[in-house]
Amino acid sequence: MAGVTVKSPGEYFQDDSKEDSLWEWINSSGQGVMGFEFGSIPDECFNFCLTQYARFGVPMSPELHEVITVGGSASFYFADVIDPYALFEGVSDVNMTQDWAYVAYKIFDPRFPDKRSYEPRGEQVETFVFMPGQAEEKFNFHMARPGLDALPEHHGFGIRDVLSGDYRGDEGIFESVSNAGEAAIIEACTVVGPDGAPIVDQRRVESYFELAAWAAYLWLIGPESRDWRMYRHEVMQTAINYGECLIVDHEFISPKYYSKFDRPPQSCYLCGVQSWCVEHTQIMNHTGFICEACSNFDMPKSGVTNCGTKFCTFSPCPNHPYHHLGEKGAFAATREKGYLLDVARGKVVQSALGSTPSFKQLGI
């Protein structure tokens, strides 16, 4: 975030200010993830934008420098405030992944000396990975295809919406520049109209700002901004330094503090089965998900239980006593204990209209 000191990932556990994920951070703090302030872009970005005006032969005088600041700010504002996940959609050198849906994670909390760990639920986890060379590739790709329309579709549209004032209380490009800046851009974009009278070419005005926005976007996603992004964004810093980054329950975590396993999240950490009976439990100083069979180990079955302390008809589970029967295993289990058995034996009567069942007296 803006103004923070770059810290080791382990220290993130001790920072109480990091209490929100990317969207929630913005909603609760009222500022972007990187703490960007509209109207102020990095000097390196400003200088890069200047080179692009020169590249395309677009006049750029000191009086027009506000155009670069405002136009460039639109791209930063979009990527930091409007869509804080935009930079992780395959356009820079860190991507957001779907690993959280396929991989189980065990988080080690360095705040405790007993090395306690826990396994988070999938919905608590966001996963990011470093993509070496991708920033260079995307930067070169877009350098050869100038203009907002050549950017990923919703990125170009989103930046243009910021320029038009859709996201900032109707504060568009002219509301964002000083009177002197407005006068300078009007002068630069005044042309002779069809009747010979001078008119302001509105499309030329927009192009001035859009060129700055496009150039700033390229700088932001490219290799030249890597150090700046790492300083401003914990996900960037952690993923680039360590290869991956997790956001778990609003904490930024590096691979130094987690292990991952090739089994689905919320599956049994001992046998890997993913079934309805898997529950979140604590064993010693570890919390994780465990199934009925593994949680009860070799405990003798009692009553109608066939796995752990529960009766189960999910025969595809390798722990099921009738797993070897395949699909027929479910029928074998229900023949031993199923609701229809109770109905057939007169214990339960279900109304034909589907209303609340009535129970026969059971010798009470």
pLDDT in tens, the chain (364 residues): 333 222 333 333 333 333 336 656 555 445 678 888 888 899 999 999 999 999 999 999 999 999 999 999 999 999 998 888 999 999 999 999 988 888 889 898 777 766 788 888 877 889 999 999 999 999 999 999 999 999 998 999 999 999 988 877 667 777 888 889 889 999 998 998 888 888 889 999 999 999 999 999 999 999 999 999 999 999 999 999 999 999 987 788 999 999 998 888 878 888 888 777 778 787 767 778 888 888 877 666 655 566 777 777 777 777 777 777 776 666 566 666 655 555 555 565 554 445 444 444 444 4
Q: Say if residues 319 and 273 touch (Cβ distance below 8 Å).
A: yes
End-to-end CA distance of the chain, in Å?
Answer: 68
Q: What pLDDT score was predicted for residue 363? A: 45
Q: What pLDDT score was predicted for residue 76? A: 95
Sign of the C-alpha dihedral computed for residues 262, 263, 268 and 272 taken in this order: negative
Q: What is the spatial distance between Cα 30 and Cα 60, in angstroms, rounded to a whole number?
A: 34
Using alpha carbons only, give the angle 239, 241, 244 rounded to the nearest 5 degrees.
30
Q: What pLDDT score was predicted for residue 9? A: 32
**Own/partner long-range contacts of 287-292 (Cβ < 8 Å, ≥24 apart):** 287/117, 287/118, 287/119, 288/106, 288/117, 288/118, 288/119, 289/104, 289/119, 291/317, 291/319, 292/319
Q: What is the spatial distance between Cα 139 and Cα 129, in angstroms, rounded to a whole number?
A: 19
The structure tokens listed for 322 are 């009738």
Q: What pLDDT score was predicted for residue 149? A: 95
The pTM score is 0.74
Domain residue spans of the chain: 9-261, 294-359
